[in-house]
Amino acid sequence: MTKEYMDALEAFVDKLTLAAVLEMLERISHKKAENLRTHWKDETSAKLWDKAARQIEQINIDV
């Protein structure tokens, strides 16, 4: 990960809050899982994305 990406992510967190960024990552993960199931018939990868979404949801806190 480059400093440029770290700075960009920090700017998102500063602007939107950590909770909002985590919520977006959770939603993106669910959408990726759905896309893998629907378009690629890849249940194995879809389950991994769903698992990631559940883990993100568990750490979603307000800071």
Q: What is the pLDDT along the chain (63 residues), one digit of tens a residue?
A: 899 999 999 999 999 999 999 999 999 999 999 999 999 999 999 999 999 999 999 996 766
Q: Please check whether residue 63 is in contact with residue 19, taking contact to mean a CB–CB distance below 8 angstroms.
A: yes
Residue with tokens 């990406």: 5
| pTM (predicted TM-score) | 0.88
- Say what the pLDDT of residue 1 is: 81
| Helix ranges restricted to H, the chain | 3-16, 18-40, 43-59
How far is 4 from 2, CA to CA, in rounded Å? 5
